Amino acid sequence: MTQRKLQKLKWINLMTLIVVIIINALSNTLPFNNITTGELADRLNVLFTPAGYVFSIWSVIYALLAIWVIRQFISIQDVDYAAYERIGLAFFINGLLNGSWLLAFHYGYFILSMVIMTALLINLIMIYYRIDGAHSNVTIWMRLPFSVYMGWISVAFIVNIGVVFNSLGFEDGLWLSAEMWTILGLIIALIIVGYLTTALKDAVYPLVFTWAFIGIAVERWHEYTFLAYTALISAIILGAMALYLFIKWKGFYHR
């Protein structure tokens, strides 16, 4: 990529982040379709949805992405520049998908929102692997934003599956109760996240699920005790795994 194209890419990434933050803010201050994201989540009553405070992780994600964007404009390692080049316009596409998902979700197009969420997760996986493939010595500030972002969208993807099922009238059917389906989802997620943690050599990814699973336990503690305990135990397992790997690798990543 030429220096001129790289300069353009910096500004595209910056404007993408600014627009995405504005759209996310408007979705709850206007709000879109006269309902906030939290109110809509409560109305849909998907048991995999964690307590409201858990969604504050978006502030962390956007803060980390802001650091990621700003670092393009300062003197950084050549290996990080290579990673920005490899990502190319993928972050711009990510912004389009992020905003599109919000609109589809708020206006009740839940199947469409599931399609967009799937594309968003694939986009983040692609960005993650482009960073990973740039060089083994890219800094933590290249990896960390997308570890957290990808982890949270992975959680949101599971919630979105529940939203689609609920919207189709399967809140408590298909052979198992909603609680048992959610417990099954927690166990499957635990296994997959445990595998991906070691495959990606990333101790941040499971911490996002730990945060979400604790939130599920808090939200369901009084009404769905078995589900809450399953979520809490899953959170402890993933948290312990992340801590063990952090100590073993002497950092969040092992290369």
- The pLDDT assigned to 250 comes to 86
Q: Of 165, 158, 153, nearest to 44 (Cα)?
A: 165
Q: Are 87 and 129 in contact (CB under 8 A)?
A: no
- The pLDDT assigned to 175 comes to 77
- The pLDDT assigned to 221 comes to 95
Q: Which amino acid is at 243?
A: L
Above 70 in pLDDT, residue 177? yes
**pTM listed for this prediction:** 0.94
Task: Write out the chain in H/E/C secondary structure.
Answer: CCHHHHHHHHHHHHHHHHHHHHHHHHHHHCCHHHCCHHHHHHHHCCCCCCCHHHHHHHHHHHHHHHHHHHHHHCCCCHHHHHHHHHHCCHHHHHHHHHHHHHHHHHCCCHHHHHHHHHHHHHHHHHHHHHHHHHCCCCCHHHHHHHHHHHHHHHHHHHHHHHHHHHHCCCCCCCCCCHHHHHHHHHHHHHHHHHHHHHHHCECCHHHHHHHHHHHHHHHHCCCCHHHHHHHHHHHHHHHHHHHHHHHHHCCCECC
- The pLDDT assigned to 242 comes to 96
43 or 117: whose pLDDT is higher? 117
- The pLDDT assigned to 53 comes to 94
Q: Of 215, 197, 195, nearest to 206 (Cα)?
A: 197
Average pLDDT, the chain: 92
- The pLDDT assigned to 128 comes to 94
Q: Which of 37-46, 83-92, 163-172 shows the lowest per-residue confidence on average (mean pLDDT)?
A: 163-172
CA 66, 72, 74, 79: dihedral to nearest 10 degrees? 120
Above 90 in pLDDT, residue 94? yes
Above 90 in pLDDT, residue 249? no
Tokens of 59: 């502030």
- The pLDDT assigned to 135 comes to 63
